[in-house]
Amino acid sequence: MTPLGPVARSLLRAGMTLASPGGSFGALLVLIFHRVLERPDPMLEGEPDAAAFAEQMDLVASLCHVLPLPEAAARLASGRLPPRAVCITFDDGYANNAEVAVPILAARGLTATFFVASGFLDGGRMWNDTVIEAVRHAPAELDLTPLGLDRYSLPDMAARRRALGALLERLKYLDLDSRLRKAEAIAAAVGAPLPGNLMMTAAQVRQLHALGMDVGAHSVTHPILAKVDDDTARREIEGSRSQLQDIVGAPVRSFAYPNGRPGRDYLRRDVDLVRAAGFEVAVSTAWGAVTRRTDPLQMPRVASWDRTATRYALRLTRAFTERRATLV
Protein backbone atom coordinates (compact mmCIF):
# COMPACT_ATOMS: atom_id res chain seq x y z
CA MET A 1 0.00 0.00 0.00
CA THR A 2 1.65 3.23 -1.18
CA PRO A 3 1.72 5.87 1.59
CA LEU A 4 -0.43 8.95 1.10
CA GLY A 5 1.25 12.21 0.21
CA PRO A 6 0.64 15.24 2.47
CA VAL A 7 -1.92 16.81 0.12
CA ALA A 8 -3.92 13.60 -0.28
CA ARG A 9 -3.79 13.02 3.47
CA SER A 10 -5.08 16.53 4.20
CA LEU A 11 -7.93 16.17 1.69
CA LEU A 12 -8.95 12.78 3.03
CA ARG A 13 -8.85 13.98 6.63
CA ALA A 14 -11.06 16.92 5.64
CA GLY A 15 -13.53 14.59 3.95
CA MET A 16 -13.62 12.31 6.97
CA THR A 17 -14.17 15.29 9.27
CA LEU A 18 -17.18 16.34 7.21
CA ALA A 19 -18.55 12.78 7.47
CA SER A 20 -17.77 12.50 11.19
CA PRO A 21 -17.24 15.92 12.81
CA GLY A 22 -17.22 14.66 16.37
CA GLY A 23 -19.25 15.80 19.37
CA SER A 24 -22.98 15.16 19.29
CA PHE A 25 -22.86 14.74 15.50
CA GLY A 26 -19.96 12.32 15.51
CA ALA A 27 -19.86 8.77 14.26
CA LEU A 28 -17.64 5.89 15.28
CA LEU A 29 -16.17 3.19 13.06
CA VAL A 30 -15.41 -0.14 14.69
CA LEU A 31 -12.98 -2.07 12.50
CA ILE A 32 -13.11 -5.87 12.59
CA PHE A 33 -10.20 -8.25 12.06
CA HIS A 34 -9.73 -11.93 12.82
CA ARG A 35 -6.12 -12.86 12.12
CA VAL A 36 -2.91 -11.06 11.26
CA LEU A 37 -0.67 -13.59 9.56
CA GLU A 38 3.09 -13.71 9.92
CA ARG A 39 3.27 -14.20 6.14
CA PRO A 40 0.65 -14.43 3.36
CA ASP A 41 -1.42 -17.63 3.24
CA PRO A 42 -3.15 -18.38 -0.08
CA MET A 43 -5.89 -20.27 1.76
CA LEU A 44 -6.67 -17.14 3.80
CA GLU A 45 -6.54 -14.56 1.03
CA GLY A 46 -8.71 -12.03 2.90
CA GLU A 47 -6.55 -11.97 6.03
CA PRO A 48 -3.73 -9.38 6.19
CA ASP A 49 -0.17 -10.38 6.82
CA ALA A 50 2.08 -8.39 9.15
CA ALA A 51 3.31 -6.00 6.46
CA ALA A 52 -0.19 -5.25 5.15
CA PHE A 53 -1.59 -4.79 8.66
CA ALA A 54 1.24 -2.41 9.57
CA GLU A 55 0.47 -0.32 6.49
CA GLN A 56 -3.23 -0.25 7.37
CA MET A 57 -2.50 0.82 10.93
CA ASP A 58 -0.13 3.56 9.73
CA LEU A 59 -2.92 4.86 7.49
CA VAL A 60 -5.61 4.66 10.17
CA ALA A 61 -3.35 6.37 12.72
CA SER A 62 -2.58 9.19 10.27
CA LEU A 63 -6.23 9.86 9.41
CA CYS A 64 -8.29 8.93 12.46
CA HIS A 65 -8.51 9.18 16.24
CA VAL A 66 -8.09 5.61 17.49
CA LEU A 67 -9.76 4.95 20.84
CA PRO A 68 -10.28 1.92 23.08
CA LEU A 69 -13.80 0.58 22.54
CA PRO A 70 -15.11 1.16 26.11
CA GLU A 71 -13.78 4.73 26.10
CA ALA A 72 -15.23 5.40 22.65
CA ALA A 73 -18.65 4.11 23.77
CA ALA A 74 -18.61 6.37 26.83
CA ARG A 75 -17.51 9.42 24.85
CA LEU A 76 -20.13 8.73 22.20
CA ALA A 77 -22.90 8.54 24.79
CA SER A 78 -21.84 11.85 26.35
CA GLY A 79 -21.39 13.68 23.03
CA ARG A 80 -17.62 13.98 23.45
CA LEU A 81 -16.48 11.80 20.56
CA PRO A 82 -13.54 13.26 18.60
CA PRO A 83 -13.83 13.61 14.83
CA ARG A 84 -12.90 10.59 12.71
CA ALA A 85 -13.15 8.23 15.68
CA VAL A 86 -12.16 4.60 15.12
CA CYS A 87 -11.84 1.47 17.25
CA ILE A 88 -9.92 -1.67 16.29
CA THR A 89 -11.31 -5.09 17.18
CA PHE A 90 -10.32 -8.73 16.68
CA ASP A 91 -12.62 -11.74 16.91
CA ASP A 92 -12.03 -15.33 18.05
CA GLY A 93 -8.73 -15.22 19.94
CA TYR A 94 -6.12 -16.39 17.45
CA ALA A 95 -2.57 -16.62 18.77
CA ASN A 96 -1.31 -14.43 15.94
CA ASN A 97 -3.29 -11.57 17.47
CA ALA A 98 -0.88 -11.63 20.39
CA GLU A 99 2.22 -12.65 18.48
CA VAL A 100 1.91 -10.54 15.32
CA ALA A 101 -0.78 -7.86 15.67
CA VAL A 102 -0.07 -6.59 19.18
CA PRO A 103 3.60 -5.64 18.54
CA ILE A 104 2.47 -3.67 15.46
CA LEU A 105 -0.23 -1.90 17.46
CA ALA A 106 2.03 -1.21 20.44
CA ALA A 107 4.77 0.25 18.23
CA ARG A 108 2.25 2.83 17.02
CA GLY A 109 0.69 3.54 20.40
CA LEU A 110 -2.63 1.99 19.33
CA THR A 111 -5.00 -0.11 21.40
CA ALA A 112 -7.56 -2.70 20.34
CA THR A 113 -10.25 -4.95 21.75
CA PHE A 114 -9.68 -8.69 21.46
CA PHE A 115 -12.89 -10.72 21.60
CA VAL A 116 -11.90 -14.17 22.79
CA ALA A 117 -13.92 -17.38 22.50
CA SER A 118 -12.77 -18.68 25.87
CA GLY A 119 -13.36 -22.38 25.26
CA PHE A 120 -10.58 -22.60 22.67
CA LEU A 121 -7.76 -21.18 24.79
CA ASP A 122 -4.72 -23.32 25.54
CA GLY A 123 -4.71 -25.69 22.60
CA GLY A 124 -8.27 -25.64 21.32
CA ARG A 125 -9.19 -25.38 17.67
CA MET A 126 -12.24 -23.83 16.05
CA TRP A 127 -14.25 -26.03 13.66
CA ASN A 128 -13.60 -23.74 10.69
CA ASP A 129 -9.84 -24.20 11.08
CA THR A 130 -10.32 -27.96 10.99
CA VAL A 131 -12.07 -27.54 7.63
CA ILE A 132 -9.46 -25.06 6.37
CA GLU A 133 -6.63 -27.50 7.05
CA ALA A 134 -8.58 -30.37 5.49
CA VAL A 135 -9.13 -28.46 2.25
CA ARG A 136 -5.52 -27.22 2.29
CA HIS A 137 -4.21 -30.82 2.35
CA ALA A 138 -6.92 -32.46 0.24
CA PRO A 139 -6.11 -34.28 -3.02
CA ALA A 140 -7.04 -32.73 -6.35
CA GLU A 141 -10.33 -34.65 -6.29
CA LEU A 142 -12.14 -34.52 -2.96
CA ASP A 143 -15.19 -36.75 -2.64
CA LEU A 144 -17.22 -35.96 0.49
CA THR A 145 -20.44 -37.58 -0.69
CA PRO A 146 -20.11 -40.37 1.94
CA LEU A 147 -20.45 -37.55 4.51
CA GLY A 148 -23.59 -36.15 2.87
CA LEU A 149 -21.61 -33.34 1.26
CA ASP A 150 -20.41 -32.76 -2.30
CA ARG A 151 -17.60 -33.78 -4.60
CA TYR A 152 -14.99 -31.07 -5.24
CA SER A 153 -12.42 -30.67 -7.98
CA LEU A 154 -9.40 -28.82 -6.61
CA PRO A 155 -6.96 -28.18 -9.47
CA ASP A 156 -5.64 -24.90 -8.07
CA MET A 157 -5.74 -22.61 -5.04
CA ALA A 158 -8.71 -20.62 -6.33
CA ALA A 159 -10.74 -23.84 -6.51
CA ARG A 160 -9.68 -24.75 -2.97
CA ARG A 161 -10.83 -21.36 -1.70
CA ARG A 162 -14.19 -21.79 -3.44
CA ALA A 163 -14.62 -25.26 -1.97
CA LEU A 164 -13.66 -23.97 1.47
CA GLY A 165 -16.25 -21.17 1.26
CA ALA A 166 -18.95 -23.62 0.22
CA LEU A 167 -18.13 -26.04 3.03
CA LEU A 168 -17.98 -23.37 5.71
CA GLU A 169 -21.34 -21.98 4.63
CA ARG A 170 -22.82 -25.50 4.54
CA LEU A 171 -21.67 -26.37 8.05
CA LYS A 172 -22.01 -22.99 9.75
CA TYR A 173 -25.68 -23.31 10.70
CA LEU A 174 -25.65 -26.93 11.85
CA ASP A 175 -26.04 -27.43 15.57
CA LEU A 176 -22.72 -27.26 17.41
CA ASP A 177 -22.19 -31.01 17.90
CA SER A 178 -23.09 -31.84 14.30
CA ARG A 179 -20.83 -29.08 13.02
CA LEU A 180 -17.86 -30.32 15.04
CA ARG A 181 -18.42 -33.96 14.05
CA LYS A 182 -18.74 -33.08 10.37
CA ALA A 183 -15.58 -30.95 10.42
CA GLU A 184 -13.59 -33.70 12.10
CA ALA A 185 -14.96 -36.26 9.63
CA ILE A 186 -13.82 -34.11 6.68
CA ALA A 187 -10.32 -33.86 8.16
CA ALA A 188 -10.24 -37.61 8.84
CA ALA A 189 -11.31 -38.37 5.27
CA VAL A 190 -8.40 -36.28 4.00
CA GLY A 191 -5.90 -37.36 6.64
CA ALA A 192 -5.06 -33.73 7.28
CA PRO A 193 -2.61 -32.77 10.06
CA LEU A 194 -4.47 -30.56 12.51
CA PRO A 195 -2.60 -27.82 14.40
CA GLY A 196 -3.10 -27.32 18.10
CA ASN A 197 -1.45 -23.91 18.45
CA LEU A 198 -3.74 -21.59 16.49
CA MET A 199 -5.50 -20.01 19.46
CA MET A 200 -4.15 -17.90 22.31
CA THR A 201 -3.14 -19.24 25.67
CA ALA A 202 -4.50 -17.86 28.91
CA ALA A 203 -1.05 -16.38 29.53
CA GLN A 204 -1.26 -14.46 26.26
CA VAL A 205 -4.69 -13.10 27.19
CA ARG A 206 -3.25 -11.89 30.51
CA GLN A 207 -0.38 -10.26 28.63
CA LEU A 208 -2.81 -8.41 26.35
CA HIS A 209 -4.54 -6.99 29.39
CA ALA A 210 -1.21 -6.07 31.01
CA LEU A 211 -0.25 -4.15 27.85
CA GLY A 212 -3.41 -2.04 28.10
CA MET A 213 -5.39 -3.88 25.45
CA ASP A 214 -9.11 -4.47 26.03
CA VAL A 215 -10.16 -8.11 26.41
CA GLY A 216 -13.75 -8.83 25.43
CA ALA A 217 -15.87 -11.98 25.42
CA HIS A 218 -16.96 -13.88 22.32
CA SER A 219 -18.89 -16.77 23.93
CA VAL A 220 -17.32 -20.02 25.11
CA THR A 221 -17.62 -22.27 22.04
CA HIS A 222 -18.68 -19.78 19.32
CA PRO A 223 -22.20 -21.11 18.66
CA ILE A 224 -24.76 -19.40 16.46
CA LEU A 225 -26.71 -17.98 19.41
CA ALA A 226 -29.95 -17.76 17.44
CA LYS A 227 -29.83 -21.56 16.99
CA VAL A 228 -29.46 -22.55 20.65
CA ASP A 229 -31.94 -22.63 23.53
CA ASP A 230 -32.17 -20.01 26.26
CA ASP A 231 -30.08 -21.89 28.82
CA THR A 232 -27.30 -22.64 26.34
CA ALA A 233 -27.19 -19.03 25.16
CA ARG A 234 -27.01 -17.81 28.76
CA ARG A 235 -24.18 -20.24 29.61
CA GLU A 236 -22.21 -19.25 26.52
CA ILE A 237 -22.54 -15.52 27.23
CA GLU A 238 -22.08 -15.56 31.00
CA GLY A 239 -19.48 -18.33 30.96
CA SER A 240 -17.17 -16.51 28.58
CA ARG A 241 -17.25 -13.39 30.71
CA SER A 242 -16.60 -15.31 33.91
CA GLN A 243 -13.70 -17.30 32.45
CA LEU A 244 -12.00 -14.25 30.97
CA GLN A 245 -12.45 -12.19 34.14
CA ASP A 246 -10.74 -14.97 36.08
CA ILE A 247 -7.85 -14.86 33.62
CA VAL A 248 -7.29 -11.09 33.51
CA GLY A 249 -8.41 -10.30 37.06
CA ALA A 250 -10.55 -7.38 35.91
CA PRO A 251 -14.07 -6.73 34.62
CA VAL A 252 -14.79 -7.76 31.03
CA ARG A 253 -17.16 -5.15 29.64
CA SER A 254 -17.34 -5.91 25.91
CA PHE A 255 -18.97 -8.74 23.94
CA ALA A 256 -19.02 -9.77 20.28
CA TYR A 257 -21.86 -11.92 18.93
CA PRO A 258 -20.48 -15.01 17.12
CA ASN A 259 -20.91 -14.56 13.36
CA GLY A 260 -22.81 -11.44 14.36
CA ARG A 261 -25.51 -10.95 11.73
CA PRO A 262 -28.57 -9.40 13.40
CA GLY A 263 -31.72 -11.51 13.24
CA ARG A 264 -29.89 -14.47 11.73
CA ASP A 265 -26.98 -15.14 14.10
CA TYR A 266 -28.35 -13.47 17.23
CA LEU A 267 -31.80 -12.39 18.41
CA ARG A 268 -33.31 -9.80 20.73
CA ARG A 269 -33.21 -12.51 23.42
CA ASP A 270 -29.43 -12.61 23.11
CA VAL A 271 -29.13 -8.84 23.39
CA ASP A 272 -31.16 -9.06 26.60
CA LEU A 273 -28.90 -11.86 27.89
CA VAL A 274 -25.79 -9.80 27.11
CA ARG A 275 -27.25 -6.87 29.03
CA ALA A 276 -28.23 -9.09 31.98
CA ALA A 277 -24.71 -10.57 32.07
CA GLY A 278 -23.32 -7.09 32.77
CA PHE A 279 -21.75 -6.16 29.45
CA GLU A 280 -21.70 -2.46 28.61
CA VAL A 281 -20.82 -2.71 24.92
CA ALA A 282 -21.50 -5.38 22.30
CA VAL A 283 -20.71 -5.54 18.60
CA SER A 284 -22.26 -7.24 15.61
CA THR A 285 -21.06 -7.76 12.04
CA ALA A 286 -23.70 -5.51 10.50
CA TRP A 287 -21.99 -2.93 8.29
CA GLY A 288 -21.99 0.72 9.23
CA ALA A 289 -21.04 3.44 11.68
CA VAL A 290 -22.10 3.87 15.29
CA THR A 291 -23.89 7.03 16.46
CA ARG A 292 -25.60 8.16 19.66
CA ARG A 293 -28.80 6.58 18.32
CA THR A 294 -27.16 3.16 18.04
CA ASP A 295 -27.96 0.52 20.63
CA PRO A 296 -24.60 0.20 22.48
CA LEU A 297 -25.22 -3.55 22.70
CA GLN A 298 -25.56 -3.84 18.91
CA MET A 299 -22.76 -1.76 17.45
CA PRO A 300 -22.12 -2.38 13.74
CA ARG A 301 -18.60 -2.82 12.44
CA VAL A 302 -16.63 -2.35 9.25
CA ALA A 303 -14.38 -4.93 7.64
CA SER A 304 -11.33 -3.14 6.27
CA TRP A 305 -9.55 -3.96 3.05
CA ASP A 306 -8.42 -2.39 -0.26
CA ARG A 307 -5.08 -2.51 -1.98
CA THR A 308 -4.42 1.22 -2.21
CA ALA A 309 -4.30 3.77 0.58
CA THR A 310 -6.65 6.14 -1.22
CA ARG A 311 -9.34 3.53 -1.82
CA TYR A 312 -9.01 2.31 1.77
CA ALA A 313 -9.43 5.84 3.10
CA LEU A 314 -12.39 6.53 0.82
CA ARG A 315 -14.06 3.33 2.00
CA LEU A 316 -13.68 4.45 5.61
CA THR A 317 -15.05 7.89 4.73
CA ARG A 318 -18.12 6.34 3.11
CA ALA A 319 -18.60 4.03 6.10
CA PHE A 320 -18.82 7.05 8.42
CA THR A 321 -21.97 8.09 6.52
CA GLU A 322 -23.68 4.67 6.77
CA ARG A 323 -25.17 5.06 10.21
CA ARG A 324 -27.24 2.45 12.02
CA ALA A 325 -29.39 2.49 15.14
CA THR A 326 -31.18 -0.57 16.58
CA LEU A 327 -30.64 -3.76 14.58
CA VAL A 328 -32.93 -6.39 16.17
For position 325, what pLDDT does the model report?
66
Q: What is the pLDDT of residues 69-122, one digit of tens each?
A: 999 999 999 999 999 999 999 999 999 999 999 999 999 999 999 999 999 999
For position 311, what pLDDT does the model report?
86
Single-letter amino acid code for the residue at 136? R
- Among the ranges given (21-35, 199-213, 312-326), the one the predictor scored with the smallest mean pLDDT: 312-326
Single-letter amino acid code for the residue at 8? A
Per-residue pLDDT, averaged over 234-244, amounts to 98
Q: What is the pTM of this model?
A: 0.95
Paired strand residues for 151 = 143
Instruction: Give the Cα separation of 83 and 16 in Å (integer).
Output: 8
Give the model's confidence band at 1: pLDDT under 50 very low, under 70 low, under 90 confident, else very high: low
Cβ–Cβ under 8 Å, residues 23 and 76: no
For position 169, what pLDDT does the model report?
93
Instruction: Give the Cα separation of 147 and 39 in Å (integer).
Output: 33
Q: What is the pLDDT of residues 221-234, one digit of tens each?
A: 999 999 999 999 99
Residue that wins the pLDDT comparison between 175 and 74: 74
Listed in sequence order, the residues at least 6 apart from 90 whose beta carbon sits closer than 8 Å to its beta carbon are: 32, 33, 34, 97, 101, 112, 113, 114, 115
